[in-house]
Amino acid sequence: MFAYDFHTHILPGIDDGSPDVETSVRMIRALQAQGVEKIVLTPHYYAENESVAEFLKRREESYATLMAAPEASTFPPMLLGAEVRLKQGLSQDPDIAKLCIGDTRLLLLEFPYIKHAPWMMQEVENLTYQLDIVPVLAHIDRFLVWGFMTDKQLAEAMAFEDAIIQINNEVLEERASKKIFKKLLKNGVPFLLGSDTHNMNNRPPNFDKMADFLRKYDYEQPEIE
């Protein structure tokens, strides 16, 4: 039913997501049971904490640990990526392009949790036109609902045609975000869905609720490869 889970913290021991392989396996099994065919692995990347090279080394180690699990042969296809926190000057580091998902030019980009400012869209444009990246704006609805963006700023970010919108399944939980989501569906705007799952407790895989909701709509996730 779902071609992808585009946003997950399933890789073990690398960020605030899955703490160990056992949890990662349970998360993967839950997503499979919810009809997800491919999983994009997007651990947090914060440029102020480490270089891209350091992050990639940690990601490689975490991935190797996961793939050493006895269940690995039955895992669905998985693509490596990152959830990159936007900061001023991010686009000045050409290595950022190495964080794109799989062999694509798609980069999952998370706005900072501060009042939206003009430099943010400037950085998004620089990433697009200087580094030839296609920004995927992570759970964009959240910034409006949490009060970091105004309606106008959200509309402006979503109107940037060279970016793609990513929506978390949690969009259904709040009235304001559900409204934005319904509008996207109604207008046929393409978006990528993600669980943003971090664990099996308070942030488990949640495509089941989205599947129920989307039954009323004629929706197909865009292909990314």
Chain contacts with Fe ion (rule: CB under 5 A) = 83, 196
**What is the sign of the dihedral through the CA atoms of 66, 67, 71 and 76?**
positive
CA distances from 106 to 21, 163, 165, 213, 217 (A): 27, 9, 11, 27, 26
- Indicate the residue among 85 and 116 with the shorter CB distance to Fe ion: 85
Q: State the nearest-atom distance from the C-beta of 73 to Fe ion, in Å.
A: 27
Q: Angle at which helices 118-130 and 151-158 pack, to 10 degrees?
A: 0
Smallest distance, Fe ion to C-beta of residue 196, A? 4
CB nearest Fe ion: which residue?
196
Structure tokens at 147: 């009060």
- CB of 8 vs Fe ion, minimal distance in Å: 8
* Residue among 114 and 159 whose Cβ is closer to Fe ion: 114
Helical pair 21-33 and 52-67, crossing angle rounded to 10 deg = 80
**Cα–Cα distance, 171 to 213 (Å, whole number):** 11
Which of 157, 151, 152 is CA-nearest to residue 137? 157
CB of residue 103 vs Fe ion: minimum separation in angstroms? Answer: 22
CB of 135 to Fe ion, least distance (A): 15
Q: Which residues pair with 2 in a beta bridge?
A: 36
Please identify, using beta-carbon distances, which residue of 91 and 168 lies nearer to Fe ion.
Answer: 168
d(CA 182, CA 172): 9
> In terms of CB distance, is 19 or 94 closer to Fe ion?
19
Decide whether 83 or 123 has the Cβ nearer to Fe ion. Answer: 83
